Amino acid sequence: EIHDPYYALIKATDKAEAEKVYIQGVADTDDYDNFQDEEIREVERDYALVKFSQSRGVDGELASYTYISKNFNNPEAEVLIWDGSLQ
């Protein structure tokens, strides 16, 4: 989970992978490569699942159970939630 400069919940095997996914997929810049400990933290799977299930789509609606389970468990899905101001 990364809070700054943009919020993102990322599925990764470790912090280094999460940083890489964030820089390439969320921040869309190569300039941000010095994460501080308070900016990025590893979270438990259950926390991530609850957070993901509470997120809203572009239509403002909560996602269906089918969408949540399909995308949360998809090994290719890396960014589960990103800052809404980036859309």
- Summarised one tens digit per residue, pLDDT across range 15-31 is 889 888 888 888 766 65
53 touches 68 (CB < 8 A) = yes
- Pairing status of strand 8-10 against strand 79-82: antiparallel
Residue bearing tokens 């990364």 = 2
Q: Is the pLDDT of residue 72 over 90?
A: yes
Q: Half-sphere exposure of residue 70, counting CA atoms within 13 Å on the CB side?
A: 5
Question: At 18, which amino acid appears?
Answer: A
State pTM to two decimals: 0.80
According to DSSP, residue 3 is labeled -
pLDDT digits (tens, 9 = 90+) for 35-71: 676 778 899 999 999 999 998 877 888 988 998 999 9
**Residue 2 in 3-state DSSP?**
strand
